[in-house]
C-alpha cells in the first residue's frame, strides 16, 4: 500500500498493530495468571486457546513487517529457495495477467500439476505470487526481482530443483503398531489389534474400526490407495476408518504464519517421501478413489490440534 500525505506508512501501521496487540495479549495473559513469553528453561506452558486470535495478529504483523524490511532478493531466496528460479516459473506468468497451474505444469514436464500448485501456494504465503482466483497464479511486485534473476537461467537445470523422491515413487513404507492398552472401563467392549503390514490385504474379518494415524501423508498416492484398499477385506458394513492426520486449510483461511508452516510441511513431504498434506476435499477424494464405498461422515478439527480426524464409513451391503 502506497503512503499518501497525511496517512501513516505501511510499516508504521504494522508497528501500531504489533504494539496494540501485544498490550492486549499481555493483559489477557495477566487475567489468566500466565507469565509473559520467555526463552528461559522454565518458560511457561503452551498458551491458552483464548489468546490465539490476538497472538495470530501479532505474529502476522511482525512477519509481514520483517518481510517488508528485507531486500526483495533476500526475501525470495530465504523463502522460496532455488526451485522456482531454476524452473523459470516467474517468467511464465504474463505481466498484468495470470496463468493456470495446469498451464505451468505443461511447460515443466518434470513437475505434475499438484506439485506445481503446492510449490506456488507455498510461495504465495511468502507474498511472491498471488492466486486471484482458484487455480490461477498472478504476479506481485516482489516477483520482478525473481524474473530478473531468471534471465540468467534461460535453460534451467531442473534435475536438481527437487530431490528425486518428489519426481518418482517412494519405497514401500511398512508400519508396525504396538498392542494398545485398553482403558479399564472399556475392557470387554474394545479389543485393539496391531497391523503388521499396512499394505497387505487384511486377513482379519468383521473389524469395527481402523485407526490410521499420521501415516498417509508420508506415502505416495499409489501407496495410500493400496493401503486403504488393503483394509477392505476386513470391513463389515458400517465399519469406520478413522484417519488422524493433518487437514490442510484452503488458502487464506487461517493465520498466515500458520499457513506458511503447513505449506512448508507439505513441500517437505513431497521432497522427502513423495508424500502430501491434504485438504478435507483431498482426503475425501482419496477415499473415493480408493473405493466409492468409503463415505466421509464427518471431519473433526479440534482447535489448537495439529491433526484432524476424518471419519469414513464403509457403506456396503455385502
CA geometry: angle 10, 11, 15, nearest 5 deg: 120
pLDDT tens-digit series, residues 243-298: 999 999 999 899 888 898 899 889 989 988 999 999 999 999 999 999 999 999 99
Count the alpha carbons within 13 Å of 178 in the hemisphere toward its beta carbon: 3
DSSP state, residue 176: -
Element (H, E) at 52: helix 52-69
pLDDT tens-digit series, residues 7-63: 578 889 889 999 999 999 889 988 888 888 777 776 667 777 888 889 899 998 998
CA distance 68 to 9: 12
Domain boundaries 184-314, CATH class: alpha beta
Q: What pLDDT is attached to residue 306?
A: 85
pLDDT band per the 50, 70, 90 thresholds, residue 124 = confident
**Span 72-162: which CATH code?**
1.10.10.10
What residue segments make up the domains of the chain, in order of their start?
Answer: 10-69, 72-162, 184-314
State the pTM of this model: 0.62
Count the alpha carbons within 13 Å of 278 in the hemisphere toward its beta carbon: 26
| CATH topology identical between 72-162 and 184-314 | no
pLDDT tens-digit series, residues 189-209: 887 777 778 899 988 888 899
CA distance 186 to 190: 6
Amino acid at each position: 500500500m502506497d503512503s499518501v500525505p497525511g496517512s501513516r506508512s505501511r510499516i508504521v501501521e504494522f508497528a501500531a498493530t504489533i504494539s496494540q496487540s501485544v498490550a492486549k495479549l499481555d493483559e489477557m495473559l495477566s487475567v489468566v495468571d500466565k507469565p509473559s513469553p520467555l526463552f528461559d528453561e522454565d518458560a511457561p506452558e503452551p498458551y491458552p486457546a483464548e489468546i490465539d486470535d490476538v497472538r495470530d495478529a501479532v505474529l502476522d504483523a511482525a512477519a509481514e513487517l520483517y518481510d517488508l524490511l528485507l531486500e526483495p532478493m533476500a526475501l525470495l531466496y530465504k523463502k522460496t529457495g532455488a526451485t522456482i528460479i531454476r524452473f523459470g516459473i516467474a517468467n511464465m506468468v504474463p505481466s498484468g495477467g495470470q496463468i493456470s497451474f495446469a498451464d505451468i505444469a505443461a511447460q515443466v514436464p518434470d513437475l505434475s500439476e499438484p506439485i506445481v500448485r503446492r510449490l506456488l501456494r507455498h510461495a504465495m504465503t511468502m507474498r511472491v505470487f498471488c492466486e486471484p482466483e482458484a487455480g490461477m497464479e498472478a504476479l506481485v511486485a516482489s516477483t520482478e526481482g525473481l524474473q530478473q534473476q531468471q534471465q540468467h537461467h534461460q535453460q534451467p537445470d531442473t534435475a536438481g530443483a527437487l530431490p528425486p523422491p518428489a519426481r518418482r515413487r517412494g519405497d514401500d513404507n511398512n508400519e508396525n503398531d504396538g498392542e494398545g492398552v485398553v482403558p479399564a472401563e472399556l475392557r470387554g467392549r474394545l479389543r485393539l489389534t496391531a497391523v503388521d503390514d499396512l499394505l497387505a490385504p487384511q486377513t482379519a474379518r468383521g473389524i469395527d474400526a481402523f485407526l490410521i494415524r499420521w501415516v498417509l501423508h508420508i506415502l505416495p498416492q499409489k501407496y495410500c490407495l493400496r493401503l486403504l484398499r488393503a483394509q477392505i477385506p476386513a470391513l463389515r458394513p458400517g465399519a469406520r476408518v478413522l484417519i488422524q492426520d493433518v487437514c490442510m486449510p484452503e488458502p487464506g483461511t487461517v493465520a498466515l504464519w500458520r499457513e506458511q508452516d503447513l505449506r512448508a510441511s507439505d513441500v517437505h513431504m513431497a521432497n522427502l517421501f513423495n508424500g502430501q498434506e491434504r485438504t478435507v476435499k483431498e482426503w475425501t477424494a482419496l477415499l473415493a478413489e480408493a473405493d466409492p464405498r468409503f463415505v466421509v461422515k464427518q471431519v473433526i478439527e479440534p482447535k489448537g490440534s495439529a491433526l484432524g480426524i476424518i471419519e469414513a464409513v464403509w457403506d456396503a451391503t455385502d
